[in-house]
C-alpha cells in the first residue's frame, strides 16, 4: 500500500498501521502506548512476529502519530472492512488527544481495496479526502470506547449507531458482533467459515483461505490470521479438524457442529478476547444471528 502512494506521487512521511484489532485484547482505559505494548505481546505470542521487532514497530508508529503537529497535513487512508475501520477509530482517537488545529487531519475512505487499485485510481482519491471535523473526532472516540468496553451491549450499540464521517464503521461493528460465539454452535463466524472451507474438500491453506473469504461481504482477515484460526480448530481434546494440509478434514465433532447437532463450547473451554470483552466460561456472551442481537 505505501509503495502505491509513493508511485502515485503522494509524497511525505508514510506509516503503515498494522494491527488486527478484531483479534485479541483491546481493553478500555489504556493509552495508545499501553495498548500497543499489550498488542505487541499478544501478537508475538500468537506467532505473528519476533517480540522485539513488533515492539519496535509499534513504538515507531506511535511516536510518529504523537508528532502529528509537525506536519502540515495528516491524511488517513483506510478501506471499508473491519480491519481498517477499527484502526481508523484508534488513529482518530489518538489524534484527537493532540488538539491539532482544525483542518489539519483529513480522511480518505473507500469501499475498494487500495492495494488492488492502480496508481491513477489512488491519485484520484486524494482530492476526495474529507476533513476530520470535531464531530468526526467525537464520533470516533465514542465508537472506540464502545469497542473497548467490557460490556458487549456497548458493541451492539455501536453496531446500531451511525458514525459521523465514517460511513463504513457501523457495518464493521456489526461484523465484529458476529465474532462472538454463536448461539446454536459456539463458533464465531470466522471459525465457522474456516470449518466450512475444510469440509468442502482437500486444499492447501491458500485455497481454504480463498473459500472462507468468498463468504465475506468485506474481506478483512489476512491469511496468517486465518491459519491461526485453523490451528485453533485443530487443537485440544475438542478439535474440530484433523489431518495435515492439504488433507485436513472435519473430525466427528466438527461434522456434528456443522450439522447443527452439537455446541462446540460444551466440549471446548473458551478463552478469547473481542475488543474489551474477555470471553470465558464464567463471562460468556453469545451472538444470536437469527435475531441480530446478543443472546
CA distance 172 to 79: 11
The answer to whether residue 1 scores a pLDDT higher than 80 is: no
CB contact at 8 A, 65 and 82: no
Question: Taking Cα atoms as reference points, which of 77, 65, 81, 71 lies closest to residue 31?
Answer: 65
The per-residue pLDDT for 4 is 79
The answer to whether residue 86 scores a pLDDT higher than 80 is: yes
Mean pLDDT computed over every residue of the chain: 95
The per-residue pLDDT for 7 is 77
Distances (CA, A) of 242 to 105, 236, 237, 254: 49, 11, 11, 9
Rounded to 5 degrees, what are φ and ψ at 228? -70, -35
The per-residue pLDDT for 179 is 98
The answer to whether residue 2 scores a pLDDT higher than 80 is: no
Average pLDDT over residues 232-258: 96
CA distance 111 to 68: 26
CA distance 201 to 249: 7
Q: What is the pLDDT of residues 15-53, one digit of tens each?
A: 999 999 999 999 999 999 999 999 999 999 999 999 999
Q: What is the pLDDT of residues 186-232, one digit of tens each?
A: 999 999 999 999 999 999 999 999 999 999 999 999 999 999 999 99
Concatenating the DSSP letter of every residue in 129-187 gives: -EE--HHHHHHHHHHHHHHH-S-HHHHHHHHTS--TT-TTHHHHHHHHHTTSPBTTTS-
Q: Which residue in the block uniquely carries the three cell numbers 491459519? A: 227
How much of the chain, in percent, has pLDDT values that exceed 90?
94
Q: What is the pLDDT of residues 152-179, one digit of tens each?
A: 999 999 999 989 999 999 999 999 999 9
How much of the chain, in percent, has pLDDT values that exceed 70?
99
Give the contacts of 179 (CB within 8 A, at least 6 positions apart): 22, 188, 189, 190, 274
CB contact at 8 A, 230 and 241: yes
Q: Radius of gyration (Cα) for the chain, nearest Å?
A: 20
CB contact at 8 A, 277 and 155: yes
CA distance 247 to 259: 21
CB contact at 8 A, 234 and 242: yes
Q: What is the pLDDT of residues 91-123, one digit of tens each?
A: 999 999 999 999 999 999 999 999 899 999 999
The per-residue pLDDT for 11 is 85
CA distance 272 to 279: 5
Q: Domains of the chain by range and CATH?
A: 2-177 (no CATH), 189-269 (1.10.10.10)
134-148 and 169-177 are packed helices; what angle lies between their axes, rounded to 10 degrees? 0
CA distance 47 to 44: 5
* Cα torsion angle, 239, 250, 266, 174, sign: positive
- In the chain, DSSP finds a helix count (H) and a strand count (E) of 12, 10
The answer to whether residue 292 scores a pLDDT higher than 80 is: yes
The answer to whether residue 284 scores a pLDDT higher than 80 is: yes
- What global pTM score does this model have? 0.96
The per-residue pLDDT for 110 is 96
Which of the four pLDDT bands, split at 50, 70 and 90, describes residue 252? very high
- Strand 272-275 versus strand 24-25 pairing type: parallel
Average pLDDT over residues 49-58: 94
The per-residue pLDDT for 89 is 98
Amino acid at each position: 500500500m505505501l509503495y502505491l502512494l509513493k508511485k502515485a506521487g503522494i509524497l511525505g512521511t508514510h506509516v503503515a498501521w498494522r494491527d488486527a484489532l478484531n483479534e485479541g485484547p483491546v481493553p478500555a482505559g489504556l493509552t495508545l502506548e499501553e495498548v500497543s505494548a499489550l498488542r505487541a505481546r499478544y501478537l508475538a505470542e500468537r506467532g505473528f512476529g519476533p517480540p522485539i521487532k513488533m515492539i519496535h514497530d509499534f513504538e515507531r508508529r506511535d511516536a510518529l502519530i504523537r508528532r502529528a503537529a509537525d506536519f502540515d497535513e495528516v491524511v488517513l487512508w483506510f478501506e471499508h472492512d473491519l480491519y481498517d475501520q477499527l484502526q481508523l477509530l484508534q488513529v482518530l482517537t489518538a489524534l484527537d488527544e493532540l488538539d491539532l488545529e482544525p483542518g489539519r487531519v483529513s480522511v480518505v475512505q473507500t469501499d475498494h481495496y487500495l492495494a488492488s487499485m492502480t496508481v491513477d485510481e489512488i491519485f484520484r482519491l486524494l482530492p476526495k479526502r474529507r476533513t476530520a471535523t470535531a464531530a468526526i473526532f467525537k464520533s470516533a472516540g465514542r465508537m472506540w470506547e464502545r469497542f473497548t468496553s467490557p460490556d458487549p451491549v456497548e458493541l451492539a450499540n455501536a453496531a446500531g449507531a451511525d458514525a459521523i464521517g465514517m460511513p463504513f464503521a457501523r457495518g464493521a461493528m456489526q461484523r465484529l458482533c458476529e465474532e462472538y460465539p454463536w448461539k446454536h454452535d459456539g463458533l464465531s463466524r470466522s471459525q465457522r467459515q474456516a470449518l466450512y472451507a475444510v469440509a468442502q474438500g482437500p486444499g492447501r491453506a491458500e485455497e481454504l483461505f480463498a473459500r472462507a473469504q468468498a463468504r465475506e461481504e468485506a474481506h478483512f482477515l489476512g491469511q496468517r490470521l486465518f491459519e491461526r484460526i485453523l490451528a485453533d480448530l485443530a487443537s485440544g481434546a475438542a478439535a474440530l479438524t484433523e489431518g495435515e494440509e492439504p488433507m485436513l478434514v472435519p473430525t466427528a465433532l466438527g461434522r456434528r457442529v456443522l450439522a447443527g447437532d452439537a455446541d462446540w463450547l460444551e466440549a471446548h473451554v473458551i478463552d478469547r478476547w473481542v475488543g474489551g470483552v474477555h470471553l470465558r466460561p464464567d463471562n460468556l456472551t453469545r451472538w444470536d444471528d437469527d435475531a441480530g442481537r446478543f443472546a
